[in-house]
Structure 1
Amino acid sequence: MSLFHERNGNFSPEKTVALVGSCLPALWLASWALMGDLGGRPVSAAIHFTGLWAIRLLFISLAVTPARRIFHWPKLVLARRILGVAAMSYAALHLTLFVMDQGWNVQAAAREIVLRFYLAIGAVAVALLLALGATSFDRVIKRMGAKRWNALHASVYGIALLASAHFFIQSKLDVTQAVLMSGFLIWLFAYRLWHRATNNVGLFALLALAVLSGVLTGLLEMAWYGLFTGIPVALVAEANFQPAMGVSPALWVLMAGLAVFVVAAVWLKISPPKAKGKAAGSQKAPKVRPSVSPAG
């Protein structure tokens, strides 16, 4: 099946944008490597770059279902498989570059992974992503059955937690990016729980999720610095509201959540759902929900 077309042969903008967007970071990395713009430790820089994009694409793939429901965009599900495979590919490259940084000494790399907790949970996350990818072919789905396959692929949220923990620990003192990504994951988890409880994530719920996620992100940042660096929690909280310090992760998460709320409200005015009585986000998901699977 074509990477750019639906099963019926029609061109798919969703798959095309997902594929092109997923390839762009790799092209940027390759261009920087060719031009020598990766700094004094190019392999280390590439390791961090691929790890960051693995997490980003994984979270974007998790955001497909909320976006599909909120904006009543069923064909958006076509992008999820490509995004999941892309996240898996960047994660695999991330691990491969780590082995390369160890002089291609697999035993030394394995020893480092075993001895360092954050490397161990990162390696587990990569292994699980590879396992999800290996069980995502149509023939495997058919053999496993939709129920068992969906149960297995629901573990992608556990993988997201492992990836976030790995990101936090390896970031050490500056956890800005790790807090930001964890804040987005908080929103995704909160949405999932709300939808499971009510089957109807409407506009009020989206507004509440934005505020709740922003607050929890701020508390997470304060807890991390307070527990692991000794920096007073009050100073971390104060820094969230100082323009000179830049926009804090909590405010970014809050603004992103509010943007989803505003766009959803406008979208409902422009293109209300066809089925009467359905609020934003009430559409049911299909029985088979590929999260990390081969493109196509």
Structure 2
Amino acid sequence: MPAKPAFSAPWHDRAGRVSGLKLATFLFALAPGIWLAAAYGFDALGPKPITALIHSTGEWAVRFLLLSLAVTPLRRIANYPKLILVRRMLGLTVLAYGIVHLGLYIVDQNFILSKVVSEIVSRFYLTIGFVALLGLAVLGITSTDGMIRRLGKAWPRLHKSVYVIAVLGLFHYFLQAKIDVSAPVYWTGLFLLLMGWREMQRFRLPMNAITLLGLAIAASLVTALVEAAWYGFKSGVPASAVLGANLEFYDGLRPAWWVLISGIALPLLNLMRPAMSGGGKGRPVSHQSGREAVQAR
């Protein structure tokens, strides 16, 4: 048997062949960074380009984190087990954007590391963001095949800390957003949707179009409550006024509605499951490798 190459391109499968899914994911992971670099080069980021880059890279880290958490629900609902092949790449993409996010903050502080450390220690939103980044670094370091073998049964327990990391990252996002928290509310709503699916799995609730639609509705309602609670706590705005704003569409849809629209994708995927599985009954595929199975959190 030929020796396995020391280096394998991220778009190759374990047999060394080009994987269309992994290649598309790799290009998708690079696209925001390339776009931001080009925008910076063409001076298209406004009067404070470094600040814009800090915010944008942080937002993309959150987006890719939520996307990585969506892999397991999507692959099971759509009966597309190959999605597990890109989970590690998405996780490392989160770490990459998080590191760039911190690096840009250091640049913004003129590379004065003592000031960076002081700010992280004294500002709560920076502290929790840094803790989340440290957690991502630990997960990234332990994501190799070798570390999975060494850690054994401890590996899945360690990597379930991604849920806590996601909560910290979203809280950091809320705090730095200050006035308009529509974006962090929306991504928090998607997190609630994905965690709700995991709770349904945990309690072995039936997974069909009706229950998944119910999950989407429940997640959107909780999202509206989260938004109302946040504005009430931070700004003293009555919760009834914020909740009422969700029924007024002249100024666009509130985050809760976008969560509902996004969540409707789950029952639609469930209905399309037979077609996506080649006309069969959508029976889950069980022949996972050990590495793939241990990654399926």
TM-score normalised over the length of structure 2: 0.91
| Partner amino acid, structure 1, of 2:191 | L
Distance in 2, Cα, partners of 1:24 & 1:75:
22
Which residues of structure 2 form unaligned runs of 5+? 1-7
User: Among 84, 97, 101, which residue is 1:94 paired with?
Assistant: 101
The total of aligned residue pairs comes to 287
| Partner amino acid, structure 2, of 1:51 | G
User: Among 70, 76, 83, which residue is 2:83 paired with?
Assistant: 76
1:110 CA drift (Å): 0.8
Distance in 2, Cα, partners of 1:175 & 1:237:
14
2:146: which partner in 1? 139
Q: Is the 8 A contact 2:208 2:270 kept in 1?
A: no
Q: Is the 8 A contact 1:153 1:290 kept in 2?
A: no
Q: Could you give the per-residue CA deviations for residues 121-147 of structure 1, whole angstroms, max 9, x where no partner exists?
A: 0000001101111111211221111x1
Q: Is the 8 A contact 1:121 1:163 kept in 2?
A: yes
Distance in 1, Cα, partners of 2:173 & 2:11:
33
In the alignment, structure 1 residue 65 sits paired with structure 2 residue 68: no
In the alignment, structure 1 residue 158 sits paired with structure 2 residue 152: no
Distance 1:134 1:269, change over 3 A: closer
1:164 CA drift (Å): 0.6
Distance 1:35 1:290, change over 3 A: farther
1:21: which partner in 2? 28
| Partner amino acid, structure 2, of 1:235 | A
Distance in 2, Cα, partners of 1:272 & 1:211:
30
In the alignment, structure 1 residue 108 sits paired with structure 2 residue 115: yes
Distance in 1, Cα, partners of 2:108 & 2:251:
34
Which residues of structure 1 form unaligned runs of 5+? 292-296
Q: What secondary structure is seen at the aligned counterpart in 2 of 1:67? A: helix
1:294: which partner in 2? none
Q: Is the 8 A contact 2:79 2:273 kept in 1?
A: no
In percent, how many aligned pairs have the same letter?
A: 39
Q: Could you give the per-residue CA deviations for residues 197-217 of structure 1, whole angstroms, max 9, x where no partner exists?
A: 107533222111101100000
TM-score normalised over the length of structure 1: 0.91
Which structure is richer in relative contact order (CA contacts within 8 A, separation 6 or more)?
Answer: 1
1:6: which partner in 2? 13
In the alignment, structure 1 residue 53 sits paired with structure 2 residue 60: yes
Alignment of 1:1-296 (within 5 A): 1-145=8-152, 147-198=153-204, 200-268=206-274, 271=277, 278=283, 286-289=292-295
Distance in 1, Cα, partners of 2:287 & 2:119:
44
Distance in 2, Cα, partners of 1:256 & 1:184:
8
| Partner amino acid, structure 2, of 1:67 | L
Of 262-271 and 131-140, the range deviating more from structure 2: 262-271
Q: Is the 8 A contact 1:199 1:282 kept in 2?
A: no
Distance in 1, Cα, partners of 2:286 & 2:247:
38
Distance in 2, Cα, partners of 1:167 & 1:48:
9
Q: Could you give the per-residue CA deviations for residues 39-76 of structure 1, whole angstroms, max 9, x where no partner exists?
A: 11111110000000000001101100101100110111
| Partner amino acid, structure 2, of 1:148 | A
1:269 CA drift (Å): 5.1
